[in-house]
Structure 1
Amino acid sequence: MTEKQEKILAAALSLFAEEGYRSTSTSKVAKRAEVSEGLIFRHFGNKDGLLEAIIQLGEEQAKLLFADIIMTTEPKEVIRKFIEIITKTSQNKEAIAFWKLQFKIKWELEIYGKHKTEAVEQALVKAFSELRYLQPEKEANLLLTLMDGIATRFILQENFDLDETIEFLKQKYKV
């Protein structure tokens, strides 16, 4: 990706997060990125193409976040690493801003990229199966849903006690 493409994506991320996808025009993105609007069309086709590039970037970031979890073989470590993933991400302001946008897009456009979490869900199902949980698929789905809710609360709720919540989950699952 060129430096200008990165500037365009960064500007779009910022504006979509501030104003929403529907309220942001490509001309605003171009102005913020200090490029011509034509350059946006050349690289991304249109505003939808720009959004698709941002969503794709989110999918790539999710794969990077989940890679270590998926490669882990010890079941309790799989669960622990998944529970701690938000703590790891919360220490990086740029990552928080990036994921905040991903959540905002999900709600504004009513899209949910379930495929982003399929590999980690399979790893969790396997871990819960090996630990002899009665319904490993439902347990994995519950943990994914809890973590989605925890991430939302962390992003939106001022003074949310992330550490206490993560510690509670680790105690609940004995990891």
Structure 2
Amino acid sequence: MTEKQEKIITAALELFAEEGYRSTSTSKVAKRAGVSEGLIFRHFTNKDGLLDAIIKMGEEQAKALFADIVLEPDPKELIRKYIELFITVSKDQEAINFWKLQFKIKWELEIYGEHKMEAIKGALINAFEKLRYNHPEQEANLLLTLMDGLATRFILQQQFDMSETIEFLKQKYKV
């Protein structure tokens, strides 16, 4: 991706978060990015193409975040790493801003993108199976839902301290 494409995506993410996707014009994105509107059309075709690029960027970052977890052979360690993932992310302000913008777009446009969670879900199911949980798929779904809720709470209320809940989950799963 070129520097100008990155500027366009960053500007679009910021504006979509501030004003909403539907209220943001490509001319506003171009102005914020310091590029011509035509350059947006050349690289992304239209505003929907720009949104697709942002969503794909989120999917790539999710894959990168989950890569170490998914490849973990020890089931307890895999679960622990997943539970502690948000502690790591919460220490990086740039990551917080990126995910906040991704969540805001997801909420406004009612796009969940469950497919980006397939690898981590499969890894969690496998871990719960190895640990002989009675309902490994339901445990994986429960943990995914709880962590999604924690992320949402953290994004909406940055003073929220998730450490107690993280410790509770680690105790619950004995990791």
2: CA distance, partners of 1:145 / 1:31 = 38
| Corresponding position of 2:26 | 26
- Scaled by the length of structure 2, what TM-score is found? 0.98
1: CA distance, partners of 2:97 / 2:47 = 20
**Is 1:156 matched with 2:159?**
no
Name the amino acid aligned to 2:133: Y
Number of aligned residue pairs: 175
Deviation of 1:106 after TM superposition, in Å, equals 1.1
Pairing of 1:12-161 with structure 2 (within 5 A): 12-161=12-161
Name the amino acid aligned to 1:162: M
1: CA distance, partners of 2:142 / 2:100 = 22
Deviation of 1:120 after TM superposition, in Å, equals 0.5
Secondary structure at the counterpart of residue 52 of structure 2: helix
Deviation of 1:159 after TM superposition, in Å, equals 2.3
1: CA distance, partners of 2:2 / 2:158 = 36
- Scaled by the length of structure 1, what TM-score is found? 0.98
Secondary structure at the counterpart of residue 115 of structure 1: helix
Name the amino acid aligned to 2:167: E
Runs of 5+ unmatched residues, structure 1 = none
Name the amino acid aligned to 1:72: E
Q: Hey, which bits of structure 1, 4+ residues long, moved more than 6 A?
A: none
| CA shift digits 1:10-67 (9 cap, x unpaired) | 1011111111111111000000000000000000000000000000000000000000
Residue 158 and residue 120 in structure 1: after superposition, are their counterparts in 2 closer, same or farther (change >3 A)?
Answer: closer
Residue 102 and residue 157 in structure 1: after superposition, are their counterparts in 2 closer, same or farther (change >3 A)?
Answer: same
Deviation of 1:158 after TM superposition, in Å, equals 4.3
1: CA distance, partners of 2:49 / 2:39 = 13
2: CA distance, partners of 1:49 / 1:121 = 28
| Corresponding position of 1:169 | 169
